[in-house]
Every structure is written in C-alpha cells, then in structure tokens.
Structure 1
Amino acid sequence: MAFEIPDAVKTWSQFGHPITMLTLFGLAIYALYLGIQSRRTRTADKEVRKELVKKQFGAKHHKIGSILLALVVLGNMGGMAVTYINNGKLFVGSHLIAGLGMVAILAISTALVPYMQKGNEVARYSHISLNITMLGIFGWQAITGVQILQRIIEKMSS
C-alpha cells in the first residue's frame, strides 16, 4: 500500500520551511541581543548590575537559545523532507551544506554552556564566536533560500 501525498499539500508545504526559518532568523537576532545584555549584566558595576539582574537577560537568553536549537534542527530536517518529497532527491548545494553547518555550529555552541556556567572564558568566547559565525551563515542562508523560493514560485506559475 503506497501512501500518496496530495499535490496541494506537496505544493504548499514548500513554503513552511522558508517561513519557519525567517522567523528563526529573527529569533536568533533576539538571542544575540539577550546574550549581549547578559554579558553586560555580568560585567556591570554593582548599581547597574542590580537593575539589569531584575530583567533576567541570562535566563531569557538560555531559554531562547534552547528553543532556537530545537527549532533550527527541526526546520533543517523539515526543509530536507519537503525537498525530498517534492523532488525525490536532495539538491546538494551551498544552501543544504550551510544549513547542516548551522545545525552543527549550534549544537557545539550549546554544548559549551556547562563550561561557561563554571566560568570558563575560552568556552564563553568560543560560544560567542560560533554564534556570530552561525548568524552570518544564517543571513547568507536567507539570501540563497529566497533564490530557491523564487525558482519554486516561477515553476508554480508556469
């Protein structure tokens, strides 16, 4: 018994990945903001620190980072699944490779958190560097994703 996905689902499912990833790009920028504020809290003088601690930037950064990791992994898998379902194959190109690299970078960055919590500055600077690199790749990924989306729309309109 073969399970056939309706054509309408196949067609419109192609837009789930770009919408999800665009949302996650915004979430990643917000996580960067929270991380900067968390660092500012740690390095501020006593009076300023008192005020900043109340805003719980570190806890928010940790939560958003965890959500970001989970959703980027799922978004990556979803994009590959939809591509395979619609084309019977994956297109191994820069968009796919960069997406897989982003997942790897986020996983490594997240794995550094226990060391950062123990005060390891090498882990902290590595975490920052990896996440800035990932954000740069994510921005470039958005550009290549829009190009792919344009091809899909052209294909749908013809």
Structure 2
Amino acid sequence: MSNVNKNFVIVECDNDERLAKKLKESTAEINRYEIYHGNGKGEILKKLNKFRDSIIILDEDFEGSWPQEYRYIIKNSDSVESLRNLRIYIDKDRRILILILSPNLEGWFRENCSHLNNKSLAEIKRRFKEYIEQCKETIDLLKETLERHINLVF
C-alpha cells in the first residue's frame, strides 16, 4: 500500500468506519480523505509510520489494552483539547490528529447523544448504523472539533 500524498482517516472497527463516513459526508476538510480500516490498535500501530497527514480515531477502552508504543505516542504528542470525554492529540512529527473517545465509541455516543441515554452499550454497538443517524448534535460536535484542529496539523 502506497500512502504517499494520501490523507487517511484511520479507524479500528466497523462502527468507527461508519462514524468516519458520516464525518466525511458533513465535513469538507476531510471529504478528500480515504478511510483505512485496521484490525484494532495493534495493526494500526504496526502501520502508523507509513501514514502522514492523517486522522486516527481510537477507543480509549482501558489502559491495559494499549500497546506500549501507543502510550509512548500519546505521551509525546501535544494534548490540544479535552471535551466531553473526547481527547485530541497532535503528533507533529507524523502530522497526525489523534481522537480518543472514552470509554469507547459506543459509550461516548451514549454519553453525548440524548437519544441513546437509556440504551445498553451492546444495543448501541449492534444498531450503531441506525443510531448514528439520530445523533446529529453529536456528529456536529465532532465535526466542529475536527475543523478547529485540522488546520493546526495539515
């Protein structure tokens, strides 16, 4: 895979990919980005050095699930914002914008989308494609946050 002169939104699961597609539809700045779907944090980490000028969307999960190299990347990146359990980092060397959703994508949506407050994480995960359409204000929050920071990186 040649990533020269390509911009990617790098995701680790199917629902992250659904979110990336939704953001591409509504955000002109990342509409030109291609989506790269890794198989979890480990695979993304192995290929991270091949990417530049990209956005990574990750679940925080629990710290023990983060490979040592990820902790190093976060430790050595600039934290630029923390908003409603969304943390944003910039890796200036790789020119990567890192979005970390806590506790994970589905949990973050449940906390930030009033339509999902009474839904279980399992249900949100299973029906995410449907529920993401009901959460315009949450998508707008992510979109605005991306737009605020994207020009700092690229």
Instruction: Provide the TM-score with structure 2 as the length reference.
Output: 0.30
* Higher RCO (Cα < 8 Å, 6 or more apart): 1
Report which of the two structures shows the higher radius of gyration computed on alpha carbons: 1
More strand by share: 2
